[in-house]
Structure 1
Amino acid sequence: MAELDRGPAAPLPAAQAPFDAVGLAKAVLRGTRAGALATLERDGGAPFASLVTVATDLDGAPLLLLSRLSAHTLNLEADPRCSLLLSPGGKGDPLAHPRLTVTGVAGRSAAPGIRARFLARHPKAALYADFPDFGFFRLAPEAGHLNGGFARAATLTAAELLTDLAGLDALAGSEAGAVAHMNQDHADAVALFATRLAGEAPGPWRLTGLDPEGIDLLAGDRTARVAFPERLSGPGALRPVLVALAAQARAAPAAGAD
């Protein structure tokens, strides 16, 4: 009875988890387009949760496009502390699928690249992104809590959630050109990235972004993530890695093939 009274064990730190907690957390973070944002009510009341669309910065920090007329925006302006629940879901029991809670502080940002990365992930948001009452926010993570399904839980530090950009400052400036080049000149390879490397169904797949650890793809409302074999060693490593991925995708069997 004493063992039962203690309740479930606390989540392990990601480094001690018996599964790839960091890899799974980053996959959820990079691949989920909407989440529940919890802010603190300005009058000291209960936490306030609302649905928001989400993209990620080059380092993986969540990006939000919020209206200053919304309650959650007013809450953040009074107290930037918040949490964001990301749950991509799937068939069957929703609690059987991975979900990630990111805690931290969120503030307005006009940093270069944020607008482009968000609109690449949410093209329809271009209709209202420039309205005067809308602005982009960047959530600076302080910690993460991953539930990877039954008996798979872990806590993560900010460093484990985010992608190291050291030595890759130039990637931010070249990302837009590289993404456009792949979509315009190598659409066949992009489609194979999604179907043969990420296991997704065929569709109008295109790249929406790339970072030192992988590429993000979109087809309608569907997303896919393809991780690089290892973190890019420098900006010059991007092209060889993409060429190698394209070769790998072409060599992989098509879905349903014998």
Structure 2
Amino acid sequence: MSVKAAKHARELLLKEYRGVLSTHSKAMPGFPFGSVVPYCLDAQGWPLILISRIAQHTHNLKQDAKCSLFVGERGAEDVQAVGRLTLLAEARQLCDQAAIDAAAARYYRYFPEAEDYHRAHDFDFWLLEPVRWRYIGGFGAIHWLAQVALANPFATAAGAAAVDAGGSEQGMLEHMNADHASAIAHYVALAGLPTQLPAELVGIDSEGFHLRIGQSVYWLAFAAPCNTPVEVRQAFVSLARAQAWPTDGAVSA
């Protein structure tokens, strides 16, 4: 397996926050059924979606949990020359209340508008458990990937134990949003992102962090991977002092 391809596949899944969910049609057996869904990644790094019980794709998944999520780089002039990913997965509805609460807390950070229709309508959280990846990095750069490291070290149970030290993802997010709004604004300006609305930090992983501006989500890469909360802090401090975005950084709207 190409380590580089696996890294790029993971980054593409992080950069985007919506894709095409393909399910097996219940109404038209034998035909695939595609629909657009927003998603964020859970602590395991698996796509988390919120879908209506009356939606066609939900009926399809209840009959056959095998599905795929297609994610491509948006805004490209030549879609065949840029990265795209088809994630083959088994869909699983979350039924345990603790798991639902954890999923809701994460999902609403990325999509706060979803909280209203989740409460008012029959929507459920589903996880897409990866089975195999098909990543294409451009012409001729085609890879089948059996496994890709996905887990977020700052969102796992181990990371949650470090809340008192501000080492969990949630603790770091609360600290940055409450005490370092000027630094976040600097990241936005440095990366050339829209400045009309305030930005909020909504996710931190070992590779970078997510900002929400209005209803758009942007992923910005750290200059180097961060394996500890101390390294995350150092990366944020370095970016706050930077005059230009690190050349290896990645930005996605």
TM-score (norm 2): 0.81
In the other structure, the counterpart of 1:226 is 221
* Secondary structure of the structure 2 residue equivalent to 1:123: coil
In the other structure, the counterpart of 1:27 is 11
Aligned mates of 2:152, 2:105 — CA distance in 1: 20
Equivalent pair of 1:58/1:172 in contact (CA under 8 Å): no
Equivalent pair of 1:36/1:50 in contact (CA under 8 Å): yes
- Indicate the percent of aligned positions where both proteins have the same amino acid: 32
* Secondary structure of the structure 1 residue equivalent to 2:169: helix
Aligned mates of 1:107, 1:166 — CA distance in 2: 23
Q: Which amino acid aligns with 1:176?
A: Q
In the other structure, the counterpart of 1:68 is 53
Q: Which of these residues, 197, 211, 215, is aligned with residue 209 of structure 2?
A: 215
Whether 2:114 is the aligned partner of 1:125: answer yes
Deviation of residue 27 (structure 1)?
1.4
Structure 1: segments with no counterpart, 5+ residues: 1-12
Equivalent pair of 2:152/2:205 in contact (CA under 8 Å): no
Deviation of residue 166 (structure 1)?
10
Aligned mates of 1:123, 1:53 — CA distance in 2: 12
In the other structure, the counterpart of 1:245 is 235
Q: CA-atom RMSD, angstroms?
A: 2.5
Equivalent pair of 1:60/1:163 in contact (CA under 8 Å): yes
TM-score (norm 1): 0.80
Aligned mates of 2:75, 2:10 — CA distance in 1: 18
Aligned mates of 1:176, 1:120 — CA distance in 2: 10
Q: Which amino acid aligns with 2:112?
A: P
Structure 2: segments with no counterpart, 5+ residues: 162-167, 246-253
Which structure: larger Rg?
1
Deviates more, 1:54-63 or 1:36-45: 36-45
In the other structure, the counterpart of 2:141 is 152
Deviation of residue 189 (structure 1)?
2.2
In the other structure, the counterpart of 2:158 is 170
* Secondary structure of the structure 1 residue equivalent to 2:60: helix
Residue 132 to residue 89, structure 1, CA distance change in 2 (3 Å): closer
Deviation of residue 65 (structure 1)?
0.4
In the other structure, the counterpart of 2:125 is 136
In the other structure, the counterpart of 1:181 is 175
Paired residue total = 231
